[in-house]
Amino acid sequence: MSDQEKQFPATDEEWSAHLPPEAYRVMRQNGTERPFSSEINSLNHAGSFSCRGCGAVLFEGQSKFDSGCGWPSFDRPVHQEAMSERLDRSHGMVRIEVRCATCDSHLGHLFPDGPTETGNRYCINGICLLAI
């Protein structure tokens, strides 16, 4: 089954039943988890990380690094089409929001201050990810 054929919740009520409450708040209501609250932040994982909402693979373990910001950080998605980007002017800031391209769940933000050759830091709410 391709990513486009995967089934995931369609309504807010279905999403609320599908996700744990905190994941629903972050992923479907554009929330943010507390810094340093996710086990994934300190997880050294050689596999991949997928979207908790739909299962789409988003990041490979080798792209993860410790940015010290309190959220899991990655320097690149598994492929550019894995995420969509939107301008986010909330909270008096101008940032680039990243969302799962498959299920449109909020994941976090992209900053141009990464330490690797990409120069990118995908700052992702750990509750949005599953280590696979």
> 81-130: per-residue pLDDT in tens?
999 999 989 888 889 999 999 999 999 999 999 999 999 999 999 999 99
pLDDT of residue 25: 97
List the catalytic residues.
Answer: 123
In contact, 118 and 43? CB cutoff 8 Å:
no
Number of neighbours of residue 28 by Cβ within 10 angstroms: 19
Class of domain 10-131: mainly beta
Q: Which of 129, 125, 96 is nearest to 112 (CA)?
A: 96
Vertex 110 angle, CA 90 and 6, to 5°:
95
Residue bearing tokens 């050689």:
46
Percentage of the chain beyond pLDDT 70 is 95
Stated pTM of the model: 0.90
**pLDDT for the residue numbered 3:** 45
pLDDT at 6: 60
What mean pLDDT is reported for the chain?
A: 92
- Does pLDDT of 2 surpass 50? no
**Residue 44 clears pLDDT 80, i.e. is over it:** yes
| Pair 71, 35: CB distance under 8 Å | yes
Are 58 and 99 spatial neighbours (Cβ–Cβ below 8 Å)?
no
